[in-house]
């Protein structure tokens, strides 16, 4: 019985160590918490990208911080898109690729739905991102046609 308890103790400690942030990541985390607008968040995202390029941060830390930036961007006012290494940014790039021909077909929407499920992006996050992108494209004078799409069963 002692052995199980001992092994579980070590497994728990390893998980805790794996979830710790480096000093530099904690510094960025504090900046994210204090950011008051989307421009500030974009500056932080650029700093994270620079630190990743210089290998001061691991990709996992940069991804975690980028996801935190995206969640914080939802909380601050403004309609602009914050570009940061994150699951949402990967999804945004996929969405832009599908919208490149100014037509979002049912097949493309089904593929996007699968991608959202894989990345854990909610329908509301998708709708907000699509709205932001369409607003930007309309300002540029571009039109986009979106086919009617019914979510697959079990969604």
**Cα distances (Å, whole numbers) of residue 120 to 90, 93, 98, 114, 117:** 12, 16, 19, 10, 5
List 104's β-bridge partners, or say none.
146
For residue 153, the 8-state DSSP code is T
73-124: pLDDT as tens digits: 999 988 888 999 999 999 999 999 998 888 888 899 999 999 999 999 999 9
151 pLDDT higher than 70: no
Name residue, tokens 């911080």: 65
Mean pLDDT of 66-77: 94
pLDDT at 7: 45
Q: Is 36 helix (H, G, I), strand (E, B) or coil?
A: coil
What is the rounded distance in angstroms from the CA atom of residue 27 to the CA atom of residue 129? 28
For the record, the structure tokens of 53 come out as: 């390029």
- Could you tell me the residue ranges of all domains in the chain? 1-85, 86-155
144 pLDDT higher than 90: no
Closest CA to 73 of 84, 63, 64, 62: 84
23-63: pLDDT as tens digits: 999 999 999 999 999 999 999 999 999 999 999 999 999 99
pLDDT at 12: 36
What is the rounded distance in angstroms from the CA atom of residue 65 to the CA atom of residue 121? 16
Q: What is the pTM of this model?
A: 0.73
- Give the list of residues 6+ apart from residue 61 with CB closer than 8 angstroms, or none: 21, 22, 25
């Amino acid at each position: 019985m002692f052995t199980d308890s001992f092994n579980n103790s070590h497994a728990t400690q390893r998980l805790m160590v794996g979830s710790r942030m480096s000093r530099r990541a904690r510094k960025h985390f504090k900046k994210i918490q204090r950011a008051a607008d989307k421009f500030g968040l974009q500056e932080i995202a650029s700093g994270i990208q620079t630190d990743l390029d210089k290998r001061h941060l691991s990709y996992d830390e940069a991804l975690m911080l980028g996801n935190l930036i995206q969640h914080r961007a939802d909380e601050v006012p403004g309609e602009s898109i914050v570009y940061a290494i994150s699951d949402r940014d990967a999804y945004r790039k996929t969405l832009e690729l599908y919208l490149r021909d100014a037509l979002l077909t049912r097949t493309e929407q089904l593929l996007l739905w699968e991608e959202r499920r894989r990345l854990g992006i909610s329908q509301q996050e998708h709708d907000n991102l699509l709205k932001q992108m369409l607003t930007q494209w309309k300002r540029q004078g571009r039109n986009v046609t979106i086919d009617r799409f019914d979510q697959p069963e079990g969604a």
